[in-house]
Amino acid sequence: MSGLPFAALLLCLCITAGQSQQFTITVEHSQINVPVGGDALFSVRPSSKVRSGDWSVNGILAVWWIDQTVSVDNVYKPRAELFTSNGSLLLKSVNVRDSGEYRVNMVPVSGSQTSATITLRVIGESQQFTITVEHSQINVPVGGDALFSVRPSSMVSRGDWSVNGILAVWWIDQTVSVDNVYKTRAELFTSNGSLLLKSVKVRDSGEYRVNMIPVSGSQSSATITLRVIEPVTGVTVVANDSTPLENLDTIALSCDASGPVQARAWFKDNQPIQENNRIFTSSGKAKLIIISVYRNDAGTYKCIASNSFSSGSGETYVQVYYGPEMIRIVPERPVVSNTVSNLTLTCFALSVPWGIYVWYNGNNLLQTGQELRLLSARMVDVGSYTCRVTNRVTNRNSNLTVHVTAEAPKTDDNITLTAGAIVGIVLGLLGMGLIGGVTGWFIARKTSGIKDPPQSKSGRKSTLDTNTVNTPQNYENFPRNEQGASHNAQDENSTYMELNLGDRSVYSDLKR
């Protein structure tokens, strides 16, 4: 009998111990409030070691695990993290769709499974879903990369991009599909829905529209315009008139280029053109207009065309035609020429292009060219000479006439001598000089008593070369004191007096 009470007591202790070891889950907060974009921590604490378990969100399985092996549904894969040590769950970057009831079920190593519930309230449910774009229009050169940068206000579950109304890229969560036209060049960033289009072409220009559906809330859209810009090439400047006449014609210079041109600038001889009521540009500066051109409007005109990424230039030379005018002849009028000298008349005139010069004597055509040469201005050359200058472009001409007179040269005593008289005088002077020299020699011989030279030792007489009478050496052989000449000074003086008188009489006859 004593054994029965002991057995009954042992059974009661076992029942009490079994009841005290029941598996339970303790939650830190039954409801948590987290702002949009924040992290939600569902903190739990099981009463004993857990073998397996799972978390569901509004009745839909989201995370499950067995021992250390964890699986996460694709919807939460990038954001959910499970702590297997106690089964707590961390959900990152929550959005309004994450709000609801989070239920955890756990199976202990020993004992029956149990569950607990935590309610999540994501603050910001009343905020409207929006998409912010960084730039509403982007300009990209040919071959560059275009980034369509967008930023949604909350988590997006799916979306798409269309180009000029044609679907190009679409996605659901992390799954992305690209149309074949853009497959090799388009890249989508699922974190925010931005799109990168590589190596753009001119045909890629247009309207790019993105549609996004948030995890919670109504869908929204945004538009970005892409402008693919070509480089500026082939800039040319063309004038409407190649031969503008001064004070008559108006010229228009056109600046054309390949590729989109955003701006133009005009220069003359590398200096910016200052516009006025006579020189001005058209809308967009595609044309430069000059009314009633002047000669100083001539020069090199350059146009620089540019856009955001490149520029090019073209130029042309403008020549303004005028004249002839301000004609003149050198030497200046009146023209008096020496009859024994050559005479050259030169004609000048202002003319563009260079004038055509023609010389006339009265109505007689003489020659063409700027210069007219008269080999000697004889009396027959006296008269009027006309220079006519013609401009073949302006079809204008200009004349100028000079009168040429000729006169004979004058001597120092104002007596005009012909060429024959001059030659006669020169010959007379030479003859008189010869006669005077021979006479003087005979007189000097007679007065100084010069005799035939003595016989040489060889018995021959000394000879005198009569061909060298007038050479300096012969004059040096005239009698002198040291050579035995006469010492009678009176005789020497009388000889020179007679020679001098003879010279004077001959010169007097010449003068007469």
Q: What is the pLDDT of residue 55?
A: 96
Residue 487 has pLDDT above 50, yes or no: no
pLDDT over 90 percentage in the chain:
56
pTM attached to this predicted model: 0.48
Residues 142-195 have pLDDT tens digits of 999 999 999 998 889 899 999 999 999 999 988 999 999 999 999 999 999 999
- Note the pLDDT of residue 319: 97
Residue 460 pLDDT class (50, 70, 90 cuts):
very low
Lowest mean pLDDT among 218-232, 266-280, 487-501: 487-501
Under DSSP, the state recorded for 428 is: H
For the CA atoms of the chain, what is the radius of gyration?
64
At residue 126, does pLDDT exceed 90? no
Rounded-to-integer distance, Cα 419 and Cα 266, Å: 72
Query: Which segment of 235-249, 385-399, 452-466 scores lowest on mean pLDDT?
Result: 452-466
Ramachandran category for residue 317: left, alpha or beta (phi over 0 → left; psi -120 to 50 → alpha): beta
pLDDT score recorded for residue 171: 95
pLDDT value at 444 more than 70: no
Q: pLDDT grade, residue 397 (50/70/90)?
A: very high
Task: Give the model's pLDDT for residue 357.
Answer: 97
Q: Quick one: pLDDT at residue 437?
A: 59
From CA 372, how far away is CA 358, in angstroms rounded? 9
Confidence (pLDDT) at 477: 35
- Rounded mean pLDDT, 195-217: 92
Query: Alpha-carbon distance 303 to 483, whole Å?
Result: 103
Least confident piece of the model among 37-46, 82-91, 131-140, 422-431: 422-431
Q: pLDDT value at position 480?
A: 39
pLDDT at residue 308 greater than cutoff 80: yes
Residue 220 has pLDDT above 60, yes or no: yes
Backbone angles phi, psi at 178, to 5 degrees: -130, 135
Which tens digits make up the pLDDT trace of 326-359? 999 998 877 877 666 778 899 999 999 999 999 9
Question: What is the DSSP-derived secondary structure letter of residue 78?
Answer: T
Average pLDDT of the segment spanning 112-126? 84
Instruction: Quote the pLDDT of residue 509.
Output: 39
What distance in Å separates the CA atoms of residue 65 and residue 88, rounded to the nearest whole number?
A: 12
pLDDT, tens digit (0-9, with 9 covering 90-100), for 221-247: 999 999 998 899 999 999 999 999 999
Return the minimum-mean-pLDDT range out of 37-46, 187-196, 214-223, 243-252.
Answer: 214-223
On the question of pLDDT at 369 being above 90, the answer is: yes
Give the list of residues 6+ apart from residue 112 with CB closer than 8 angstroms, or none. Answer: 22, 23
Query: Could you count the other beta carbons within 10 Å of the beta carbon of residue 38?
Result: 17
The pLDDT value recorded for residue 478 is: 35
Q: How confident is the model at residue 321 (pLDDT cuts 50, 70, 90)?
A: very high
Which domains, and CATH codes, for the chain? 23-123 (2.60.40.10), 131-229 (2.60.40.10), 241-318 (2.60.40.10), 322-407 (2.60.40.10), 430-444+469-512 (no CATH)
pLDDT band at 96 (very low <50, low <70, confident <90, very high): confident
* Average pLDDT of the segment spanning 480-509: 38
For residue 505, pLDDT beyond 90: no
The verdict on whether omega for the bond into residue 334 sits within 30 degrees of 0, i.e. cis, is yes
In angstroms, how far is CA 155 from the centroid of its own chain? 52
- 337 CB neighbour count, 10 Å cutoff: 20
Q: Given a cut of 50, is residue 249 above it in pLDDT?
A: yes
pLDDT score of 494 = 37
Q: Which of 248, 252, 260 is nearest to 282 (CA)?
A: 252
Task: Say how far apart CA 18 and CA 12 lie, in whole Å.
Answer: 10
Instruction: Name which residue leads in pLDDT, 505 or 399.
Output: 399
pLDDT grade for 381, boundaries at 50, 70 and 90: confident
Q: What is the pLDDT of residue 276?
A: 95
Residue 317: per-residue pLDDT: 97
Q: Between 495 and 410, whose confidence is greater? A: 410
Which pLDDT score is estimated for 499? 35
Average pLDDT score over the chain: 80
Tell me the backbone φ, ψ of residue 152, rounded to 5 degrees.
Answer: -75, 155
**How far apart (Å, rounded) are the C-alpha atoms in residues 91 and 167?**
33
Q: How far is it, in rounded angstroms, from Cα 80 to Cα 100? A: 16
Q: Which residues, including other chains, have CB under 8 Å from residue 346's CB and lie 6 or more apart? A: 329, 330, 370, 371, 372
- Mean pLDDT within 390-415: 80
Helix, strand, or coil here: 13?
Answer: helix
pLDDT band at residue 2 using 50, 70 and 90 as cut-offs: very low
Tens digit of each residue's pLDDT (9 = 90 or more) over 412-436: 544 445 545 555 555 656 656 556 6
Look at residue 269 and tell me whether its pLDDT is greater than 90. Answer: yes
Higher pLDDT, 125 or 34: 34
Task: Please state which of the ranges 93-107, 181-195, 281-295, 410-424 shows the lowest mean pLDDT.
Answer: 410-424
Give the E-state strand segments of 15-153 in sequence order: 25-27, 31-35, 40-42, 44-46, 50-57, 60-66, 69-72, 80-83, 88-91, 100-108, 114-123, 131-133, 137-141, 146-148, 150-152
